[in-house]
Amino acid sequence: MLSTTRRRDGRGRRGARRREVSVWKGLAAGVVGGLAASAAMNRFQALLSREAVGEERSHGAQSMQQGSPQQGVGLELRAEGKDEQTDDATERLANVISVKLFDQELTKREKDAAGTVFHYAMGVTSGAVYGALAEMSPGATAGAGLPFGVAVWIVADEGLVPAAGLSKSPAEYPLSVHAYSFASHLVFGLTTEVVRRAVRVVLR
């Protein structure tokens, strides 16, 4: 009888540990997951772009979404002669900040470096939100992070980015570009969850 009680108590204690919620630990695990996922996404997209257009392009899924937008900040930059057809969304974001704040157009090399920073910043921020949400609502991690990746794709690449004029409208890109972006975000979501889960175990 005593051994049964101990086993039950042991299971209860282990269950309590499993149910421990720490938004800060979740956020930290999400940051690491987002950082690793951004790197994985970059590499995946670089390989895809090499096969598709014969050159490796970094900056995540946005690297395939080039061309001058006809709306938002992209249109403003174009009117000032400070937008390039080869700029992707992260490069355009870096350039518009520099132009608006410092009245200085970035060089291609500067845009490339700044674009990389913005890509990782976006990944880390998304990962942090996901990690915190996973603590408060464990169901958010269902599907091994794939639904999370799809959500980021819909909200960012298909929504906010073109709406701000950082890329052309979704209808202006061929289906293949959307497919590349979608696949890249699946890699992002899966990697974020795998790494987040591993880091969260370490942080217990």
Question: Can you give the pLDDT at residue 1?
Answer: 42
Question: Can you give the pLDDT at residue 58?
Answer: 62
Q: Give a yes or no: residue 8 inside a domain.
A: no
Contact of 92 with 167, CB cutoff 8 Å = yes
Q: Give a yes or no: residue 6 inside a domain.
A: no
- Structure-block tokens of residue 196: 């987040």
pLDDT tens string 117-126:
999 999 999 9
In angstroms, the first-to-last Cα distance of the chain is: 31
3-state secondary structure of 1: coil
Q: Give a yes or no: residue 2 inside a domain.
A: no
Work out how many domains the chain is built from and give that number.
1
Question: Can you give the pLDDT at residue 8?
Answer: 44
Q: Give a yes or no: residue 5 inside a domain.
A: no
Using CA atoms, how far apart are residues 120 and 73, in angstroms rounded to an integer?
Answer: 21
Contact of 74 with 165, CB cutoff 8 Å = yes
pTM greater than the 0.85 cutoff? no
Question: Does residue 51 register a pLDDT over 80?
Answer: no
Using CA atoms, how far apart are residues 187 and 163, in angstroms rounded to an integer?
Answer: 24
- Structure-block tokens of residue 159: 């929504």
Closest C-alpha to 181, from 74, 66, 75 = 66
Q: Give a yes or no: residue 121 inside a domain.
A: yes
Question: Does residue 17 register a pLDDT over 60?
Answer: no
Q: Give a yes or no: residue 66 inside a domain.
A: yes
